[in-house]
Structure 1
């Protein structure tokens, strides 16, 4: 008959050994001495809580490094145990914010050849690299990438790849390391990708690296139809715009789904510097909307009351032909300038030698 010291062998749900309360307390407090005494009297320390946590899970959650290393030395199979959230002890340590402990456990997995266990994902499809990056543990993330490059290929249930998470947090060092892995995933939620994340952070250096290794990402659209270039233009990120066009000038000729070419988007914001970069790389970039009322960028600049942009158009040789272009209603830019009652705008147009006032 079992004595009082063997209560850790009581059966829990689904045939699992229920953890002794004393072992649970030792794991929670990090009392490795008590744990080793119990193990010496009863070698089996594989019991779990009702949430399927082992004593290694519990100690990992509380960050007890000594307890973790000593219990692994006694029973290394605990490294591959998973709880109801499908967490390994390594995942539990990372998710609880104990990066140093996670690094120690990582060495335990590597020393025992448990590389596949490092790759396991939790109930949300996140692996340890997802959580390390999300929590800002950059040094740990780099160690994980070195130990198990395949971590970079996983996408969680939110459609987030480790590379996308790193780019969103502007972790350039991690993003560039992941770009070195040929089959690393790059997608994010709602159709976004890593390049879009770099654009949002105005990270022209990372955008350049992405364009050098995965230029096709510049042509992908998200669920709203936005491309990296359209987002860069909208956010007035001139450095990123320049990088994208330097690597692929054809991007400047694509008219977005809303029908407004990039030059018209620049006019809407009054961004002369963006227009100059566009025209430098794409001298004949589209200037007229493909949808009703088929305005030119000159119409748009007047509608948005950007006098300086209008003056820029008037002095730019390749845009001279816009001065008398009409929209679907037969109205030129001058019509709208007069309607806006802006004397400076009207004066600028009338000063152009090609203006048609009839």
Structure 2
């Protein structure tokens, strides 16, 4: 194609590479209708003809024409990229390459727009043109077009993953694979977005690149696709990630939680089993025995959330679990029965009391404040839990905490201003039945109504 014989006066670098036009900056820059119409027609030769006519008729320099934008702040290259008009994109890149880094009001470059619009051939052309022309212009030399972010912090790869076009994703990914771990302002990487969107093909493509070699696993936590897959209960995604990148099983989030912690916290039983099995396969590095920053193990979270099916995984024969769960205390010195009791998880309490691995030592064990599980159930007003524990003949009702109080003492003096009268009466009725004088292991009187 013949080059236009027009003197080109390039604008300043600041005008070309601004971080996104403000709406007030659009005033007086309205795009010439005939040019946008020529872009829509998609004929490169005709576009050049119209461009020359408009420059002559309106006495505009070429740079003035390219400075004009739509109400959305789109340059001519944005418009051409959005419509997938390859021949126009080629002309614009030849005439005014700095349009490649021009931004609209959302901070989008033309590559963002093409990726969002699923224009594979246009994406490919823009990347090619940028690679060819970037060394010629100081404004482009230090930029990596695939890493440019818009106002949401999205790279073009983020936008491509959002759109779900595998070809577009692959083209941008091949240009700069490390972008797969770049975080947007919502702290999501393109890899995590692929998980959320449920696109297996894109996920497998992006998993080809390992975690950044210059960063330990702990520093990659926010871009972990496995945590995201567990959080969103994407079973197929979880299995794909474990198969392709098994090292992600050991990755922690900012609070020290592994994917196994996540599964326990949301009660995701099936994938909890898969992750637990994966952990137990490696006797030297068991994530099931790793605490988060609050000192909690996955089994602690399972008890706290009342997921008895998960708790069973640590007791059932053949589970491969190497340690008695009762020796795994939290930072307050509480065992798993303490945790279940203080959170009112009567289903877990009932299972633990009926399990052959639970003895009177575990039932009557004190935490660092001297509280047994019965003390904690009484403090937190969980009558069903109190009933289960007091009806167990192994329970010692005479034990006192560091304040010198038995569980019965706590219930007698307990007052809760927010508790409705009917609920309080029900609570004391349960206490009365649970601690009736006919029980041989009861050593105190029935509590009075507070």
- Which TM-score bucket, shorter chain as reference? 0.7 to 0.9
In structure 2, the CA distance between the partners of 1:317 and 1:357, relative to structure 1 (3 Å rule), is same
Q: Which residue of 2 aligns with 1:228?
A: 259
Alignment of 1:40-189 (within 5 A): 48-49=66-67, 55-61=76-82, 63=83, 65=84, 68-72=85-89, 74=91, 77=94, 81=98, 82-85=100-103, 89-94=110-115, 97-99=116-118, 102-108=119-125, 120-124=146-150, 126-134=154-162, 137-139=163-165, 141-145=166-170, 148-154=173-179, 155-156=182-183, 158=185, 160-182=188-210
Counterparts of 1:38 and 1:22, CA distance in 2: 11
Work out which of the residue numbers 50, 58, 61 in structure 2 matches 1:38: 50
**In the TM superposition, what whole-angstrom CA distance separates every residue of 1:203-241 from its partner, at most 9, and x where no partner exists?**
122222222333333333322333322222111111221
Query: Cα offset for 1:312?
Result: 0.4
**Normalized against structure 2, the TM-score is what?**
0.61
Counterparts of 2:149 and 2:324, CA distance in 1: 48
Query: Cα offset for 1:313?
Result: 0.3
| Contact 1:119–1:148 (8 Å) recurs in 2 | no
Q: Which residue of 1 aligns with 2:299?
A: 263
| Contact 1:133–1:165 (8 Å) recurs in 2 | yes
Counterparts of 2:94 and 2:206, CA distance in 1: 30
Q: Which residue of 2 aligns with 1:24?
A: 35
Q: Which residue of 2 aligns with 1:277?
A: 313
Q: Which residue of 2 aligns with 1:349?
A: 389
In structure 2, the CA distance between the partners of 1:109 and 1:187, relative to structure 1 (3 Å rule), is farther
Query: Cα offset for 1:164?
Result: 2.0
In structure 2, the CA distance between the partners of 1:353 and 1:265, relative to structure 1 (3 Å rule), is same
Q: Which residue of 1 aligns with 2:276?
A: 245
Counterparts of 2:11 and 2:289, CA distance in 1: 63
| Contact 2:224–2:248 (8 Å) recurs in 1 | yes
| Contact 1:268–1:304 (8 Å) recurs in 2 | yes
Work out which of the residue numbers 332, 343, 366 in structure 2 matches 1:326: 366
Q: Which residue of 2 aligns with 1:297?
A: 336
Q: Secondary structure at the match of 2:247?
A: helix
Counterparts of 2:289 and 2:126, CA distance in 1: 51
| Contact 1:79–1:89 (8 Å) recurs in 2 | no
Unaligned runs of 5+ in 2: 17-28, 56-60, 135-143, 281-285, 399-450
Query: Cα offset for 1:282?
Result: 2.4
| Higher share in helix | 1
Query: Cα offset for 1:248?
Result: 1.3
Q: Secondary structure at the match of 2:101?
A: coil
Counterparts of 2:168 and 2:223, CA distance in 1: 27
In structure 2, the CA distance between the partners of 1:60 and 1:258, relative to structure 1 (3 Å rule), is same
Counterparts of 1:132 and 1:339, CA distance in 2: 53
| Contact 1:27–1:59 (8 Å) recurs in 2 | no
In structure 2, the CA distance between the partners of 1:337 and 1:290, relative to structure 1 (3 Å rule), is closer
Query: Cα offset for 1:103?
Result: 1.6
- Confirm or deny that 1:315 pairs with 2:326: no
Q: Secondary structure at the match of 2:358?
A: helix
Larger radius of gyration: 2
| Contact 1:176–1:206 (8 Å) recurs in 2 | no
**In the TM superposition, what whole-angstrom CA distance separates every residue of 1:234-270 from its partner, at most 9, and x where no partner exists?**
1111122112112113111112221233323222221
**In the TM superposition, what whole-angstrom CA distance separates every residue of 1:26-77 from its partner, at most 9, and x where no partner exists?**
35654747524336879x978621679763333224x2x4xx2332465663
Counterparts of 1:167 and 1:111, CA distance in 2: 29
